[in-house]
Amino acid sequence: MVARPVVLRRALRSALRPSAKSPIALARPFSSAAARLAPNSTPDYAVPDPARPTHFGFETVTEAEKRERVAGVFTSVAESYDRMNDLMSFGWHRIWKDHFVASLNPGFSPLTDGPDPRASQHILDIAGGTGDIAFRMLHTAHVVNRNPDVRVTISDINPAMLTVGKQRSAALPASQQAALTFVEANAEDLTKTTPLSPNLSAPNPHPTSAIPSNSVDLYTVAFGIRNFSNIPAALREAHRVLKPGGVFACLEFSKVDKHPLFNTIYKEWSFRAIPLIGQLVAGDRDSYQYLVESIERFPSQEEFRDMIVDAGFVVGGCGYEDLTGGVAAIHKGMKPRQ
């Protein structure tokens, strides 16, 4: 491993450093008030700060700069995104996504073929621009589980990716299209979401609104979270919007350290072949170079699991499931009932 991600180092440092923020703790060092406050207060590494250094591939940039450059990457790959995914993973990403959705089984409701009598299920698909996960969710919920009372909000920071998803959604049955909403939002701050603007070049005419706290049943993010500028902040925002009992589910590239031989082949493929394929097929080497570097910099399964637990989720079992030996991994966490 090249280096521990900056985010984690910061998390570790601020966890070890005694907090100087609470005057109560300073004035009464043995008071239990500080300990009682601790679970509710957000540690400073989980507060987005545009000037804080983070990593963009192997480079170190500020959080604000990363946001812009990630936007640049995905605006340039939006059109060729699916074709490239197929070429890079030999089509295997479809299997991962199918398994991810099947393991979540959205819309499943016992006994009745219809909806849960208490409330409809709300799924928030973060960084879901092209709709890959959202369309599978709707199919499982509406067709497999025969539960039409499931709605999906597709959120992405990048309007170019959302536009691709919107176009693709035109092929869906009308009932499924009606259950879809497309919003532009930054996953670190879901209090400011904007419906997708019809015209990408003009400023978005819609007013911003917030995703309310405790309103989401299932929060999914597939191959997106490693591009976030501040992952702890995004995890805490997920915790805020989820209902108690709601599930955070993440599909992301991960580490193959458990299989050294396969790891060698995999690394060769990532660092030599993928940028080359990007150059030949999409005419964009830099974006795909960023892609493989960002995978390399993403924390290991255990580290990321600990970040999820740190944000207040509970996990079942070891907290993650390796796919294809760890090339990708599914992490799940549940917001506990208070």
Contacts to another protein by CB under 8 A? 39, 103-106, 108-111, 116, 118, 121, 217-218, 243-247, 249, 302, 305-306, 309, 312, 314-319, 321, 332-334, 336-338
Nearest-angstrom CA–CA distance, 238 and 170: 29
**Is the CB of 17 or the CB of 118 nearer to another protein?**
118
For residue 156, say whether it is annotated as part of any ligand binding site.
yes
For residue 140, say whether it is annotated as part of any ligand binding site.
no
Nearest-angstrom CA–CA distance, 101 and 139: 10
**Is the CB of 168 or the CB of 243 nearer to another protein?**
243
Specify the pairing of strand 328-334 against strand 320-323: antiparallel
Structure tokens at 281: 């097929």
The torsion angles phi and psi of 196, rounded to 5 degrees, stand at -60, 130
Strand, helix or coil at 149? coil
For residue 130, say whether it is annotated as part of any ligand binding site.
yes
For residue 147, say whether it is annotated as part of any ligand binding site.
no
State the minimum distance, in angstroms, from the CB of residue 68 to another protein.
Answer: 34
State the minimum distance, in angstroms, from the CB of residue 338 to another protein.
Answer: 8
**Is the CB of 205 or the CB of 245 nearer to another protein?**
245
274: nearest Cα among 257, 256, 287: 287
Q: What DSSP designation does 214 have?
A: T
**Is the CB of 42 or the CB of 60 nearer to another protein?**
42
Q: Report yes or no: 208 and 186 within 8 Å, Cβ to Cβ.
A: no
State the minimum distance, in angstroms, from the CB of residue 213 to another protein.
Answer: 15
Residue 108: count of CB within 10 angstroms of its CB? 14
State the minimum distance, in angstroms, from the CB of residue 337 to another protein.
Answer: 5
State the minimum distance, in angstroms, from the CB of residue 97 to another protein.
Answer: 16
**Is the CB of 106 or the CB of 148 nearer to another protein?**
106
Structure tokens at 202: 């003009």
Q: Which residue type does 153 have?
A: T
Q: Binding-site residues for S-adenosyl-L-methionine, please? A: 130, 156, 186-187
Q: Binding-site residues, please? A: 130, 156, 186-187
